[in-house]
Amino acid sequence: MESQYRTEVASLGEFGLIEHLTDRNETVNGGTLLSVGDDAAVIDHFGKQTVITTDLLLEGIHFDLAYTPLKHLGYKAVVANLSDLCAMMATPTHITVSIGISNRFSVEALDELYDGIYAACKRYDVDLIGGDTSTSVKGLLLSITAIGEVKNDQFVTRAGAKENDLICVSGSLGGAYLGLQLLEREKKIFLESPGVQPELAGHSYPIGRLLKPEARVDIVRFLQEQNIVPTAMIDVSDGLSSELLHLCRKSGVGCVVYDDKIPVATETKAAAAELHLSAVTCALSGGEDYELLFTIEQKDYELVAKNEEISVIGYITAGDRGAVLQTKAGATHKLKAQGWNAFT
């Protein structure tokens, strides 16, 4: 946020700020009939169904600007919303962005934030079509609404998992949580000894998983191309165990998950060892991986197996059996929701 030149937001005013932040906005979707600049936007999904999600991010609660660059924050905020659309098997098309800012933030700082937002829009072919700005008594508030499209009645919810379905997850888990722990460690050291430089060499993977996650539109595209319709789906934003319990509760089922089947990257394991943590525990209880957790019918196993980015980690059971984790040694443990909770 530091700059040789600092332009006060008050010098532009609300509408001047909006015009400044959106003067480079371009749209790429044919369904965007009216974008930024009027009382509301107009979109046409040409007969498809519309899927909508929103997230509210608060400084000090959801992010720490001590180690989160504003450009990364803007990118990540968009991705978090697009991930929710992916979890419904929808294709992201549009976003709106609303911000609340204190006088701590200059126009140049907000340009950095929007650099990240526009980078995400370009990466995912998403149009920014509106939003709002306001003052904040303290810190930064960022709220994004994302809109997507899906063919009629082909969206997937958390409520369709059936007994004997296979449980699948994309990518790898636990990396973002380890990235957070590494950055928090270095922040603590810096606050105690401001002259000490952070020691983050060799940890670009877990830190990248935290600061620049990606939405798994590629997994949605693969499933669509293979004509695989998951029976239930959710994105992994609050930790694998929490998401599994959400899915099981909504579907009225139980599950068995094998700890040695949970995908954890080599770099994540190394970071966990350095911090004396269990990599599997980080995968189960950490958050912000933004991978997709979904269930499929057994007949689709051979098709799913074509994709190296998808791991089968367990299966769905009857509801009265509960949700359990089975170790390689054969022991079973009841799954507990120990992931992120905004109110605790």
- 146 with 279, same domain: the answer is no
**Residue 76 resides in a domain:** yes
Domain extent, residue 217, equals 166-334
- If asked whether residues 175 and 217 sit together in one domain, one would say yes
Q: Is residue 188 part of a domain?
A: yes
Does residue 161 form part of some domain? no
pLDDT tens, 27-55?
887 787 777 766 666 788 888 999 999 99
Domain boundary among 150, 180, 195: 150
Position 330 scores a pLDDT of 86
Please give the structure tokens belonging to residue 276: 């004396």
| Residue 22 located in a structural domain | yes
pLDDT of residue 40: 66
Claim to verify: residue 20 and residue 115 sit in the same structural domain: yes
Residue 38: predicted pLDDT: 60
Assess contact for 253 and 335: CB atoms under 8 A. no
pLDDT at 4: 65
Helix or strand or coil: residue 305? coil
User: If you search the block for the tokens 């072919």, which residue do you land on?
Assistant: 125
Residue 135, SS3 per DSSP: strand
Distance CA 218, CA 89 (A): 11
| CA-based torsion, 102, 94, 210, 291: positive or negative | positive
Q: Which amino acid is at 241?
A: S
Q: What per-residue confidence (pLDDT) applies to 343?
A: 44
Number of structural domains found in the chain: 2
Give yes or no: residues 329 and 215 share one domain. Answer: yes
Q: Are residues 206 and 305 in the same domain?
A: yes
The tokens of 226 are what? 């293979």
Closest to 238 measured CA to CA, from 154, 150, 165, 173: 173
Q: Please indicate, yes or no, whether residues 133 and 171 belong to a single structural domain of this protein.
A: no
Do 200 and 317 sit in the same domain of this protein? yes
In a domain, 1, yes or no: no
- The alpha carbons of the chain give a radius of gyration, in whole angstroms, of 21
Q: Residue 62 sits in a domain of what CATH number?
A: 3.30.1330.10
**Could you tell me if 131 and 206 lie in one domain?**
no
Residue 165 φ/ψ, nearest 5 degrees = -65, 150
Residue 322 lies in a domain: yes
Give the end-to-end CA distance of the chain in Å, rounded to a whole number.
Answer: 30
Q: Do the strands 127-135 and 91-101 form a parallel or antiparallel pair, or are they unpaired?
A: parallel
- Shared-domain flag, residues 135 and 172: no
- What is the model's pTM? 0.90
- Predicted pLDDT of residue 317: 98
| Number of residues assigned to the chain | 344
Q: What's 213's domain CATH number?
A: 3.90.650.10
Gap between the Cα atoms of 192 and 188, Å rounded: 6
**Tokens 């997994």 appear where?**
219
Residue 3 lies in a domain: no
Report residue 81: phi and psi, to 5°: -75, -40
Side-by-side strand order, sheet with 127-135: 49-58, 141-150, 91-101, 127-135
Closest to 59 (Cα-Cα) out of 104, 13, 106, 4: 104
136 close to 75: Cβ distance less than 8 angstroms: no
- 171 with 112, same domain: the answer is no
Residue that terminates a domain, selected from 150, 182, 197: 150
Question: Is residue 330 a part of any domain in this protein?
Answer: yes
* Same structural domain, 18 and 127: yes
Picking from 116, 150, 184, the residue at the C-terminal end of a domain is 150
pLDDT score recorded for residue 27:
81
Q: In which region does residue 139 sit, left (phi positive, over 0), alpha (psi from -120 to 50) or beta (all else)?
A: left
pLDDT tens for the chain, residues 1 to 344: 445 678 887 787 766 777 777 777 788 877 877 777 666 667 888 889 999 999 999 999 999 999 999 999 999 999 999 999 999 999 999 999 999 999 899 999 999 999 999 999 999 999 999 999 999 988 999 999 999 999 988 899 999 999 999 999 999 999 999 999 999 999 999 898 887 878 888 899 999 999 999 999 999 999 999 999 999 999 999 999 999 999 999 999 999 999 999 999 999 999 999 999 999 999 999 989 999 999 999 999 999 999 999 999 999 999 999 999 999 888 999 998 775 555 45
Whether 175 and 266 map to the same domain: the answer is yes
